[in-house]
């Protein structure tokens, strides 16, 4: 069975859209189009998204983050103190918004109340932003949840975000390559040394990823420690680059969002 578990190509599920216009034609016969409504204020949405022009313009952009981990900084183009001390295993975090309204409660609606419409909006916003930025990867991997957390929640919010991103960018999505094999306590409540010990061996990758550029997708990056541990595992499996694509970057010390 060893070879069956490690065949990455078999695990990759490529998004297959329905024939162009078929679904719309079918729905159009029975339903009126559902208008996009801003989830923040109720005004009409723009570009088919549930967000209006004004709320979109005022989204809390994270323009001046650490070049490595996207930690908000007073000036652009710098490396934060923590990355200077310990360079993380991931190559770069792309997290275009702060964990502030409305992004924080949209992320919470998805994670804790399973509001899929919020997940679609966040996934589409991040996907469109990544497309404009010309972000590239060979494989997209949603940040995995531990089995017990997955059973408790019933779904992985990172997969909900990664699915529209993979479809928009035309990049294969692999839900199985990386597993979380240890349940980890809320990271921000622990001192750094314990956090590292806690996260060591938290992830497992049984595939070979030689020469691949991986994009890990998550909703919020808080300390960067989880992404660091996941990226180290992926690099041990042969990945040449690991990027983290997240909707929001929370300032360190801002509480746990796992």
How far apart (Å, rounded) are the C-alpha atoms in residues 225 and 231?
10
CB of 81 to Zn ion, least distance (A): 8
- Least distance in Å: CB of 52 to Zn ion? 3
Q: Judged by CB, which is closer to Zn ion: 66, or 121?
A: 66
Q: Minimum distance from CB of 225 to Zn ion (Å)?
A: 12
For residues 179-194, b (16+ Cβ closer than 10 Å) or e, as one string? Answer: bbeeebeebbebeeee
Given the complex with Zn ion, which of 79 and 150 has the nearer CB atom? Answer: 79
**Could you give the CA distance from residue 213 to residue 105 in angstroms, rounded to a whole number?**
31
Eight-state DSSP code of residue 154: S
Where do contacts with Zn ion occur on this chain (CB under 5 A)? 38, 40-41, 43, 52, 55, 66, 68-69, 71, 80, 83
CB of 125 to Zn ion, least distance (A): 13
Q: How far is the CB of 25 from Zn ion (least distance, A)?
A: 30
Residue 44 — φ and ψ, nearest 5°?
Answer: -60, 140
Neighbours of 59 (CB within 10 A): 18
* Closer of 40 and 130 to Zn ion (Cβ): 40
Beta-carbon-side half-sphere exposure of residue 235 (alpha carbons within 13 Å) = 14
**Separation of alpha carbons 102 and 88, rounded Å:** 29
- CA-wise closest residue to 207 among 169, 242, 235: 235
User: Would you say 67 or 150 has its CB closer to Zn ion?
Assistant: 67
CB of 236 to Zn ion, least distance (A): 22
In the complex with Zn ion, the residue whose CB is nearer, 80 or 143, is: 80
Q: How far is CA 202 from the centre of its chain?
A: 18
Q: Which is nearer to Zn ion, 96 or 144 (CB)?
A: 96
Between 70 and 209, name the residue whose CB sits nearer to Zn ion: 70
Q: Find out whether the peptide bond into 8 is cis, omega within 30 degrees of 0.
A: no
Q: Which regions of 39-144 does DSSP assign to beta strands (E)?
A: 92-94, 97-98, 139-142
Polymer length in residues for the chain: 258
The Cα 118–Cα 174 span in angstroms is 22
Minimal distance, residue 202 CB to Zn ion, in Å: 21
């Amino acid at each position: 069975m060893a070879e069956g578990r490690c065949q990455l190509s078999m695990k990759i599920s490529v998004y297959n859209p329905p024939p162009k216009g078929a679904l719309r034609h079918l729905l159009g016969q029975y339903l009126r189009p559902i208008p996009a409504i801003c989830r923040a204020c109720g005004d009409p949405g723009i570009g088919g998204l549930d967000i209006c022009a004004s709320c979109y313009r005022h989204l809390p952009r994270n323009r001046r983050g650490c070049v490595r981990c996207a930690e908000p900084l007073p000036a652009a183009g710098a490396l934060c103190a923590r990355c200077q001390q310990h360079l993380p295993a991931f190559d770069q975090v792309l997290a275009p918004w702060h964990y502030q309204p409305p992004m924080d409660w949209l992320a919470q609606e998805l994670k804790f109340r399973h509001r899929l419409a919020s997940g679609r909006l966040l996934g589409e916003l991040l996907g469109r932003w990544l497309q404009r930025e010309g972000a590239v990867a060979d494989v997209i991997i949603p940040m995995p949840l531990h089995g017990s957390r997955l059973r408790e929640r019933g779904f992985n919010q990172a997969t909900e975000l990664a699915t529209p991103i993979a479809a928009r960018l035309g990049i294969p999505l692999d839900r199985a390559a990386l597993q979380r094999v240890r349940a980890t306590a809320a990271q921000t409540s622990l001192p750094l040394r314990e956090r590292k010990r806690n996260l060591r061996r938290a992830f497992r990758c049984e595939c070979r990823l030689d020469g691949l550029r991986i994009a890990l997708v998550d909703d919020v990056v808080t300390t960067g420690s989880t992404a660091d541990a996941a990226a180290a595992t992926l690099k041990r499996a042969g990945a040449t680059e690991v990027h983290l694509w997240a909707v929001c970057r929370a300032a360190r010390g801002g509480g746990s969002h796992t």
